[in-house]
Amino acid sequence: METVSWTAKTGVEAEQMIDAVEKMVPDLQKVPGFRYQSLSLKESIQGDNSEDASSQWLQLYYWDTVETAHNSNAIMAPTDSLNHLISLIEPDSIAIDIFTPLQQSSPLTVD
């Protein structure tokens, strides 16, 4: 599993971010080992008037192996879809981590 987190640039709306990720999915589906991805937006804590919470994003990628997760970055780097997504993100805020799953509640199913 790969996690990618970032902060959106000021003025970027949630719909823009969702649209950019949706346009990236067809390119991801061509990458060997790709299984599934999801995009999440950090919820603001009640009473928190900070705009930072509304711009914190987390994308989870599920890959066949750790190796395919690592290889995916080089494959996706030249795509227009990834470059468009990156244009919406504060460059210094990007954090990428790859984890090895050790437990799951049930098999992953994709509808």
pLDDT digits (tens, 9 = 90+) for 16-56: 999 999 999 999 999 999 999 999 999 766 555 555 556 89
The reply to whether 36 falls in a domain is: yes
Residues 7, 86 contacting (CB under 8 angstroms): no
At residue 12, what is the residue type?
Answer: V
Residue 101's pLDDT band (cuts 50, 70, 90): confident
Give percent of the chain with pLDDT exceeding 70. Answer: 86
The reply to whether 27 falls in a domain is: yes
The reply to whether 109 falls in a domain is: no
β-pair type (34-41, 95-98): unpaired
Residues 64, 35 contacting (CB under 8 angstroms): yes
**pTM of the predicted protein model:** 0.83
User: What's the CATH code of the domain at 46?
Assistant: 3.30.70.100
The reply to whether 104 falls in a domain is: no
Name the residue range of residue 56's domain.
2-98
Question: How many separate domains does the chain show?
Answer: 1
The reply to whether 54 falls in a domain is: yes
Rounded CA separation 36/93 (Å) = 23
Please give the structure tokens belonging to residue 55: 């711009």
The reply to whether 111 falls in a domain is: no
The reply to whether 107 falls in a domain is: no
Rounded CA separation 2/78 (Å) = 19
